Amino acid sequence: MFQEKLNNLINENFSSLFFIEKNNDNEFIFYTPQFLNDGSFIYFYIQKKDKSIIFSNDMYKYIEQNIKKFQKNKNIIKDYFLNKKTFEKIVNNLEKENIKYSLLMEKEVEESNDLKEEIAKYLFTISKYYNYIYDYCLIYSKDKEAKEKEFKIAIDNFVKNFNNLNEKKIIKLEEKLYSNIDYYEYDNLDIFTGVYTELDLHKAFGELERKVEVEEKKALILIDKNQTSLVKYIEEKFLKIYSQKNVKIIYSDDYTKVSKNIEDFIKKNEKEKGNEI
pLDDT at 145 > cutoff 80 = no
Q: Label residue 246 by pLDDT band (50, 70, 90).
A: confident
Q: Determine the average pLDDT of the residues in 35-55.
A: 92
CB 76 within 8 A of CB 111: no
What is the average pLDDT score of the chain? 86
Q: Cα–Cα distances in Å, from 79 out to 85, 95, 212? A: 10, 19, 46
Kindly report the number of other CB atoms within 10 A of residue 4's CB atom. Answer: 8
Q: Determine the average pLDDT of the residues in 211-228.
A: 85
Q: Determine the average pLDDT of the residues in 175-187.
A: 82
pLDDT at 157 > cutoff 90 = no
Decide which of 180 and 3 is more confident.
3
Kindly report the number of other CB atoms within 10 A of residue 121's CB atom. Answer: 17
Q: Determine the average pLDDT of the residues in 198-222.
A: 87
pLDDT at 271 > cutoff 80 = no
Could you tell me what percent of the chain has a pLDDT over 70? 94
CB 45 within 8 A of CB 55: yes
pLDDT at 256 (0 to 100): 54
The gap from C-alpha 199 to its chain's centroid, in whole angstroms, comes to: 26
Tell me the angle at which helices 115-139 and 88-96 cross, rounded to the nearest 10 degrees.
170
Contacts of 198 (CB under 8 A, 6+ apart): 230, 233
pLDDT at 51 > cutoff 60 = yes
pLDDT at 251 > cutoff 90 = no
Contacts of 199 (CB under 8 A, 6+ apart): none
pLDDT at 85 > cutoff 90 = no
Q: Determine the average pLDDT of the residues in 69-83.
A: 88
Q: Is 124 helix (H, G, I), strand (E, B) or coil?
A: helix
DSSP of 189-200, one letter per residue? TEEEEEE-SHHH
DSSP of 52-102, one letter per residue? EEEEE--THHHHHHHHHTT-TTS-HIIIIIT-TTTTHHHHHHHHHTT--SS
Amino acid at 47: Q
Name the most confidently modeled range: 4-13, 52-61, 161-170, 230-239: 52-61
pLDDT at 119 (0 to 100): 95
Q: Decide: residue 105, CB within 10 A, 0-12 exposed, 13-18 middle, 19+ buried.
A: buried
Kindly report the number of other CB atoms within 10 A of residue 153's CB atom. Answer: 19
Q: How many CA atoms lie within 13 A of 274 on its CB side?
A: 6
pLDDT at 272 (0 to 100): 74
pLDDT at 277 (0 to 100): 40
Decide which of 270 and 241 is more confident.
241
Least confident of 41-50, 120-129, 216-225, 268-277: 268-277
Q: Is 182 helix (H, G, I), strand (E, B) or coil?
A: coil
pLDDT (tens digit per residue) in 99-110: 999 999 999 999
pLDDT at 114 (0 to 100): 93
d(C-alpha 125, C-alpha 206), whole Å: 42
Taking phi first (over 0 means left), then psi (-120 to 50 degrees means alpha), and beta for anything else, what does residue 259 get? alpha
